[in-house]
Structure 1
Amino acid sequence: MSELTLKRGAVMPAKQVLFLVFRIASERFALQAIEVAEVLPRLPLKPIAKAPAWVVGVFAYRGAVVPVIDLSALTFGQPAQARTSTRLVLVHYRPDDVTPSTLLGLILEQATDTLRCNPADFKPYGLDNRQAPYLGPVREDAQGLLQWVRVADLLDEQVRALLFPSPPLDLALLEERP
Structure 2
Amino acid sequence: MGEFEARYGVAPAARQTLFLVFCIGNERYALQATDVVEVLPRLSLKPIARAPSWVAGVFAWRGVVVPVIDLCALTFGQDAQARTSTRLVLVHYRPQAQQAAQVLGLILEQATDTLRCDPADFKPYGLDNRQAPYLGPVREDAQGMLQWVRVNDLLDESVRAVLFPTPPLDLNDNEGER
TM-score interval (norm. to shorter): over 0.9
Structure 1 87/174 Cα, relative in aligned 2: closer, same or farther at 3 Å? farther
Determine the structure 2 residue equivalent to 1:69. Answer: 69
Query: Once the 2 structures are TM-superposed, how far is the Cα of residue 175 of structure 1 from its aligned partner?
Result: 7.4
Which secondary structure state, in structure 2, belongs to the residue aligned with residue 90 of structure 1? strand
* Rounded Cα–Cα distance in structure 2 between residues aligned with 1:125 and 1:161: 30
Q: Number of paired residues?
A: 174
Match of 2:3 among 6, 17, 38: 6
Is the contact between residue 5 and residue 12 of structure 2 (CA under 8 Å) also seen in structure 1?
A: no
Determine the structure 2 residue equivalent to 1:26. Answer: 26
Query: Once the 2 structures are TM-superposed, how far is the Cα of residue 12 of structure 1 from its aligned partner?
Result: 3.0
Query: Once the 2 structures are TM-superposed, how far is the Cα of residue 169 of structure 1 from its aligned partner?
Result: 1.5
Summarize the alignment of residues 146-157 of structure 1 with structure 2, pairs less than 5 Å apart. Answer: 146-157=146-157
TM-score (norm 1): 0.92
Structure 1 137/171 Cα, relative in aligned 2: closer, same or farther at 3 Å? same
Structure 1 177/57 Cα, relative in aligned 2: closer, same or farther at 3 Å? farther
Paired-residue identity, %: 74
One-letter amino acid matched to 2:55: V
Structure 1 175/54 Cα, relative in aligned 2: closer, same or farther at 3 Å? farther
Say what the alpha-carbon RMSD is for the aligned residues.
1.7
Determine the structure 2 residue equivalent to 1:118. Answer: 118
One-letter amino acid matched to 1:74: L
User: 1:56-111 deviations in whole A, cap 9, x for unaligned?
Assistant: 10001111100000000000000000001000000000011111100000000000
Compare 29-38 and 161-170 and name the one that shifted more.
161-170
Structure 1 8/164 Cα, relative in aligned 2: closer, same or farther at 3 Å? same
User: 1:105-142 deviations in whole A, cap 9, x for unaligned?
Assistant: 00000000000000000011110000000000000001
Query: Once the 2 structures are TM-superposed, how far is the Cα of residue 11 of structure 1 from its aligned partner?
Result: 4.6
Compare 88-97 and 9-18 and name the one that shifted more.
9-18
Summarize the alignment of residues 1-178 of structure 1 with structure 2, pairs less than 5 Å apart. Answer: 6=3, 11-171=11-171, 178=178
TM-score (norm 2): 0.92
